[in-house]
Amino acid sequence: MTAGDQQRLDLPVPVADPMESLEALSVLVVEDNRSDQRLIVEALVEGGVGVDRITCVETLRAARQALVQRPAGCVLLDLSLPDAVGLEG
């Protein structure tokens, strides 16, 4: 039975546990400051993202390569990188 069928029949629709979806989320962190990278990774892990699902790189060029090798569901991009500034990134 689909969620739409359940709604039409006025049955409760099960809601996915948001923590489960975060565990499977792949995140690319593009940050050239190592201490900022570490803080971001800690916050992501505390929020429920699996540490093995986080990739960190320091340049826009490396980010492009990382996305080819391992697509990400979320990209956190520093807007001041050695090879890109602002919205150019």
Which pair of structure tokens corresponds to residue 3? 């969620």
Residue 22 has what pLDDT? Answer: 79
Positions in the chain whose pLDDT score sits under 70: 1-21
Handedness of CA 46, 47, 53, 58 (dihedral sign): negative
Residue closest to 56 by CA, chosen among 80, 32, 73: 32
Residue 15 has what pLDDT? Answer: 57
Residue 85 has what pLDDT? Answer: 81
Residue 47 has what pLDDT? Answer: 93
